């Protein structure tokens, strides 16, 4: 289970940090989050699925860096990530 930390910017709500662990990370829809900050899920090898609310329009850098088990990212409007199913392979 993940706990999320937010910051209000001039342009709107930004998700700044996600602490915890688990196979699923579902970003709450009770806030109008526009931006997901850098490194939110970086290094979470256990993470298999991430779901973003429809309000998110941009994600930061290295959000999924090291998420080698990530299979599903579900979102609607994030620059090219629309219902993308991915699989990372270890080389």
* Domain regions of the chain by residue span: 2-85
pLDDT digits (tens, 9 = 90+) for 27-67: 999 999 999 999 999 999 999 888 888 898 888 888 888 88
- Of 84 and 7, the structure prediction assigns the larger pLDDT to 7
% of the chain beyond a pLDDT of 70: 78
Give dist(CA 66, CA 73) in Å, integer.
15
Residue 88's nearest CA partner among 45, 37, 51, 58 is: 45
pLDDT at residue 83, rounded to an integer: 38
Integer CA distances (angstroms), 81 to 8, 10, 55, 77, in order: 24, 25, 14, 7
Give dist(CA 41, CA 68) in Å, integer.
11
pTM for the predicted model, two decimal places? 0.75
Half-sphere exposure of 76 (CA within 13 A, CB side): 5
% of the chain beyond a pLDDT of 90: 43
The torsion angles phi and psi of 58, rounded to 5 degrees, stand at -155, 140
Fold of 2-85: 3.80.10
pLDDT at residue 4, rounded to an integer: 95
């Amino acid at each position: 289970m993940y706990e999320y930390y937010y910051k209000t910017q001039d342009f709107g709500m930004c998700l700044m940090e996600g602490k915890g662990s688990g196979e699923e990370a579902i970003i709450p829809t009770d806030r109008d989050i526009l931006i997901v900050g850098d490194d939110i899920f970086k290094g979470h090898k256990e993470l298999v699925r991430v779901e973003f609310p429809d309000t998110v329009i941009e994600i930061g850098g290295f959000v999924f860096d090291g998420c080698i088990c990530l299979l599903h990212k579900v979102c609607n409007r994030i620059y090219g990530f629309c219902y993308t199913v991915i699989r990372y392979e270890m080389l």
